[in-house]
Structure 1
Amino acid sequence: MEKKKVLVPLDGTDRSMHSIDWLKKLFEKEEIKVTLMNVAEIVIANDMVISNDTVTRAQKESEDILDTALKKLEGYEVDKYCAFGYAADEILRKAKQEESDIIIMTKSTKKGIARMIGSVTTKVVKNAKTLVIISPE
Structure 2
Amino acid sequence: MTMKIKKILLTTDFSDYAHYALTYAVEFADKFKAEIGLLHVIEPIIAPTDFTWESYDIAELEKKSREYTQESLDKIIREKIPDKIKATPIIRYGRSFEEIIRCAKEEEFDIIIMSTHGLTGISHILFGSTAEKVVRKSPVPVLTVRDPEHKFEML
Same fold (TM over 0.5): yes
Match of 1:51 in 2: 58
Runs of 4+ in 1 over 3 A off after TM superposition: 45-50, 109-113
Match of 2:96 in 1: 87
Relative to its length, the structure with more strand (as a share) is 1
Pair 38,112 (structure 1): closer, same or farther in 2 beyond 3 Å: closer
Offset, 1:41:
0.8
Q: Which runs of 5+ in 1 are unaligned?
A: none
TM-score normalised by L of structure 2: 0.76
- 1:102 counterpart letter in structure 2: I
Which is greater in Rg? 2
TM-score normalised by L of structure 1: 0.85
Alpha-carbon distance between aligned partners in 2 of 1:113 and 1:4, rounded to the nearest angstrom: 34
Tell me, what secondary structure is at the counterpart of 1:11? coil
- 1:63 counterpart letter in structure 2: Q
Tell me, what secondary structure is at the counterpart of 2:92? strand
- 2:103 counterpart letter in structure 1: K
1:28-43 paired onto structure 2 within 5 Å:
28=30, 31-43=33-45
Q: Does 1:117 align with 2:117?
A: no
Tell me, what secondary structure is at the counterpart of 2:99? helix
Alpha-carbon distance between aligned partners in 2 of 1:21 and 1:3, rounded to the nearest angstrom: 16
Alpha-carbon distance between aligned partners in 1 of 2:123 and 2:73, rounded to the nearest angstrom: 30
Alpha-carbon distance between aligned partners in 2 of 1:50 and 1:117, rounded to the nearest angstrom: 29
Give RMSD over aligned pairs: 2.4
Residue correspondences, number: 136
